[in-house]
A and B are shown apart, each in its own frame.
Chain A
Amino acid sequence: MLHNLFIGEQADLLARRQLSSVELTQHYLDRIARFNPQLNALITLTAQRALGEAAAADRRRSAGENSPLLGIPLIHKDIFCTDGVRTSCGSRMLDNFVAPYNATVVERLQGAGGVTLAKANMDEFAMGSSNETSYYGPVRNPWDTTRVPGGSSGGSAVVTAARLAAYATGTDTGGSIRQPAALTGVTGLKPTYGRVSRFGMIAFASSLDQAGVFTRSAADAALVLQVMAGFDPKDSTSVDQPVPDYHAALQMPVKGLKIGLLKEFFDGLEPKAAALIQDALALYRKLGAETVEVSLPSLPLSVPTYYVVAPAECSSNLSRFDGVRFGYRCAAPKDLMDLYKRSRGEGFGAEVKRRIMTGTYVLSAGYFDAYYLKAQKARQKIADDFKAAFTQVDLVIGPTTPTPAFAIGAKIDDPVTMYLNDIYTIGANLAGLPGISVPCGYVDSLPMGLQLIGPHFSEGRLLNAAHHYQLQTDWHRHIPRGYES
């Protein structure tokens, strides 16, 4: 089955001319038509465009070009601007917005010959951990369609898990790649802050946002990151540092690797989930890695810190949506203030409004020192904790989430409970660190993720460690029932 092949295997068939990109693209389009109605993973389908890009990729192959992503179909999270295609960010505010340019991530993957099938559903403006805040309705988890896929990149995770594309892009501000990857049984990579350009990626919290990728293996993630990563003068926080050969990094041995077991992630963790992580640690020890316990004492401050910093930045970033230059405008405004207030009040959904108001509150006179300044200090403490841990170990390991996918509707009315779902993933964003989640087994028949976090720019090491885990396990090869053929 074509859709069960990894990117490297599909590329081999394309290179040997045993398969054309048009055939592969049509195969995925057929699967989308068949499965997406029950998953609601997509906002905009770009089928005609995709077939055109596939034909162009086939011509490039005929002309002798041979690169791993040439002619491989993907799906972009609808947060990335795509020239000439609606880019909604999951919001009514941008329901009518046709992007006038490409995000750098889109540009780079297109240049490498990627074929864009569609734009994926997501939590509105990437604010959510369950993909229930989308204006276009919740995305459903293919492992159990009564459950959430996680968020905010829920659509991207689901299209990867259900094999509706070879890979998908995502963004991670507090766990929005790693958490849905864990809950849908796929591999999700969040690179170091500044490694991948944020140009053309609709901003939520600019000091935390980072683009990454969903694949079905670490080896595939290495192929995609190779193209996505790199300096971009259009993003003022893009880091001008050479991109290493991630595929070559996969081959390094794990022997001698020092892995830190995060004490705070295990205290009180449900035994079934803890057992999966212990199994993974035992496997790494068998491969010659050393495991030691490390502590991040400030970690309990990470969720409240995040829910000050991220809303503060979001309240500023989302002030651009004013009903004047683009996006939703209310009907018959009576004056300019009415135009602003009703366009924003009607164009944004409940969670986005809640976060804008939280941010406005913590930045307002009299509260700035108590909340925002304090959060920035706590953020430094958390970053210092990680830095100290990385003097003892090469990377740290723990679960991606405390529990598997929860039921749709279970937490949507209780924002604080929903926010606690990000408890294991937020620390890496606050410190700007790369992280990866790989499937590591099941709790109550639902997939769980193993999370690896490393120092800045250690993507090669993380991919390497994840790859060696996947050479010894087959969790990443499992397919949700009903999506096999």
Chain B
Amino acid sequence: MIWPYFVPQSLVLQVRVMSLTRQEVEKIAHLARLSITEQEMPVYVTSLSSIVAFVDELSRADVGAVAPMAHPLVGQSQRLRADEVEDTDRHEKYQANAPQVQSGLYVVPRVIE
């Protein structure tokens, strides 16, 4: 028995060998604003490579001339509402969750020298 790794083979697409380089993963991590430690890096290079190889099947699939689907409900559009104030000022309650606040402002490291 091959279980627990059993998956119906008819639903598994042929996966092409693809790999991302360490430099590519470093660039992605920077774009995503994520610090990745030295120990973590090789794990991400391997696992992201296998994920990209897996989803790369899509780039070769023939999907014809269908329009891209952005939303699952046909005919729904974004509603508009009257431009009226609905929320009261609750900044004190919201800012109770902030890591650092001073005079109602969020404090971050100096940006302009």
Contact = CB atoms under 8 A, between A and B. Distances in A.
A432 B34 contact: no
Interface stretch (A7-15, A117-125, A267-275, A284-292): A267-275
A264 interface: yes
B109 A416 contact: no
Nearest to B32: A360
B76 to A, nearest CB: 7
Interface of B is mostly: loop
B59 to A, nearest CB: 4
Interface stretch (A50-58, A155-163, A374-382, A476-484): A374-382
A268 B8 contact: yes
A31 B85 CA distance: 46
Interface string B56-83: 1111010110111111110010110100
Interface string A281-311: 0000000000000000001110111011000
A27 interface: no
A264 B36 contact: no
A390 interface: no
B63 to A, nearest CB: 4
With most chain A CB atoms within 10 A of its CB, the pick from B54, B81, B110, B111 is: B54
B96 A376 contact: no
B6 A402 contact: yes
A403 B4 CA distance: 7
Given A345-B34, A353-B34, A374-B61, A416 B66 contact: no
B73 A193 contact: yes
A336 B111 contact: yes
B9 to A, nearest CB: 5
Nearest to A298: B63
Interface string B80-95: 0100000000100110
B31 interface: yes
B11 A100 contact: no
Contact of A326 (B11, B66, B97, B110): B97
B101 to A, nearest CB: 9
A423 B73 contact: no
Given A377-B68, A377-B69, A304 B13 contact: yes
Contact of B71 (A207, A327, A375, A456): A207
B108 interface: yes
B7 A361 contact: no
Given A325-B98, A360-B28, A301 B68 contact: no
A100 B6 contact: no
B33 A341 contact: yes
Contact of B108 (A236, A339, A358, A370): A339
Contacts of A72: none
Contact of A354 (B6, B10, B15, B51): B51
With most chain A CB atoms within 10 A of its CB, the pick from B10, B44, B70, B94 is: B10
A341 B76 contact: no
Nearest to B95: A325
Nearest to A405: B4
Contacts of A308: 55, 58
Contact of A270 (B6, B43, B90, B106): B6
Nearest to A421: B7
Contacts of A319: 33
A403 B3 contact: yes
Interface of A is mostly: helix
Contact of B34 (A357, A361, A414): A357
A336 B47 contact: no
Contacts of B17: none
A237 B73 contact: yes
A245 interface: no
A339 B90 CA distance: 26
B69 A376 contact: yes
A44 B54 CA distance: 37
Contacts of A334: 109
B99 A329 contact: yes
A388 interface: no
Interface in A93-150: 96-98, 100
A346 interface: yes
A324 B106 contact: yes
A182 to B, nearest CB: 14
A431 B74 CA distance: 10
B60 to A, nearest CB: 9
B35 interface: yes
A315 B76 contact: no
A356 interface: yes
Given A268-B9, A324-B99, A381-B64, A100 B48 contact: no
Given A327-B99, A402-B6, 5 more contacts: A193-B72, A208-B72, A301-B58, A378-B58, A419-B51
The 6 closest A-B pairs by CB, nearest first: A432-B72, A345-B35, A376-B68, A268-B8, A329-B99, A267-B10
24 contacts: A233-B81, A237-B76, A239-B73, A264-B11, A265-B8, A267-B10, A307-B54, A325-B97, A329-B100, A358-B55, A370-B58, A370-B59, A373-B68, A375-B55, A377-B68, A383-B72, A403-B4, A403-B6, A410-B4, A415-B51, A416-B15, A416-B50, A417-B5, A423-B11
